Structure 1
Amino acid sequence: MIALDTMLPAFDVNDASGRALKLTDFMGQSNVLIYFMRTSTCQVCVNHVRDLAKHKAELDAHGITVLVAIPEGAEAVARWQKKSASPFIGISAPSGSTHAEFGLNKKLFGSMQETGVVLADKTGRVRYTRGAVIATGAYNWQELYSAMTEHLPVAA
C-alpha cells in the first residue's frame, strides 16, 4: 500500500465516459479520496461506496473529491456508474491497474484483488490509507473521518 506522507503518483485514469484524467489534475483544487473496489460486483465494496455516499455532506465540507477505482477497465466503470447512480467519479486505468500503482496487488495466488482507501490533501500528500485482501477490512468510516478532521480543514 502506498505510504503515508508520500505524494500521490502522477497517474493517468479514465472516467466512466472514457475521458482521460490525471490524479495531479486535482492538486491545488481539492482533496482526493480514492476508494479501490475489489471488483465492480463486490457487494461489500458496493456497500462501502454507499456508506461514503451517506457521508457525502461531510466529505464535501472537507473539500474532498471521491474517486472509485474499478479494476476491470473502462466498460466495467461505465456499467457500474450507470447501475449504481453513485455521486462519485468512477475511474479505471487506461492500461494496467490503478490498484497496482497504489500497491494494492492480487494476493492469495493471484486470485484476490486487494481493496482499500487512500486520502490525499490538496498538495497530493497521502494522509490516510487502509487496505486489505478481504473487502470487509478495507474501509472504516470512523478512522477515515478522524483522518479527515485531523489533516483536512473544513472548506470555507
Structure 2
Amino acid sequence: MRTSPLIPGESLPELELTRSDGAVAELCDLLDKDRTLVYFMRTPTCPVCHSHLRQMTRTTFGGGALARRIVVVVPGDSNDAATVAARHPELSDRIVASATAHESIGLFVRAGLQQSGTFVVDSARTVLTARTATIPLGSFNEAEALEALGETNAPATRTA
C-alpha cells in the first residue's frame, strides 16, 4: 500500500473503475493518445471540486476543449459517478467512480478530509505532473494543467 501520493515519473496503476451506469471502465480506454488530466475528486458533493470541474469544462485551448482530455475519478460507486455526471453532463462519459482508486495512488483521508488531486499522465500512464491537497482549493491549477498538457503556446480561454 502506498504511503504518499504518486509523483512525476511513477506510473498510474490500473484502477478499478465503474461508470455511472454500473459498467466497468478501463483506464486505457479513457486516456487521450497523448496526455490526459486525471482529476480525483474529494467527494461527489465537494463544492470546490465541482467548481474545478466547471472551470475545466469552460476552458478551451488550441481549438479544443479541455473537457475532452479529462478523466474524473469520484470516490464511491456508480451512484456517486451518476451524481457528479448529472451536475456536469458535458463530462458524463469522462466520469468514473472507484472505491479504491484514491488510496491506491496515495490520496488518503487526513484530518477528516479525503485528499483530492490532479495528475497529468501520458498514454503509458506515466505521471508527468501531480498536484494533491487535503484542502481541495489546492488540488487544481489551470495554468499548470495546461502547461503539462503541452499547451503552453496556445492561449487558454474560459467561456462564461
Once superposed, which parts of structure 1, at least 4 consecutive aligned residues long, lie more than 4 Å away? Answer: 56-64
Letter of the 2:114 partner, please give it: Q
Residue in 2 aligned with 1:117? 118
Residue in 2 aligned with 1:40? 44
* Count of aligned pairs: 147
Residue in 2 aligned with 1:154? none
Give how far 1:30 is off: 4.9
Matches within 5 A, 1:51-130: 51-57=55-61, 60=64, 65-88=69-92, 89-93=94-98, 96-108=99-111, 111-130=112-131
Give the TM-score normalised by structure 1.
Answer: 0.81
Task: Provide structure 2 residue ranges, at least 5 long, that are not aligned to the other structure.
Answer: 153-160
Task: Provide structure 1 residue ranges, at least 5 long, that are not aligned to the other structure.
Answer: 152-156
C-alpha offsets along residues 87-145 of structure 1, whole Å, 9 cap, x if unaligned?
Answer: 2511112xx3211111111111xx21001101101122111110000010111111111
Identity between Structure 1 and Structure 2 (%): 24
Give how far 1:9 is off: 0.4
Q: Distance in 1 between matches of 2:65 and 2:84?
A: 26
Residue in 1 aligned with 2:158? none
**Superposed CA RMSD:** 2.5
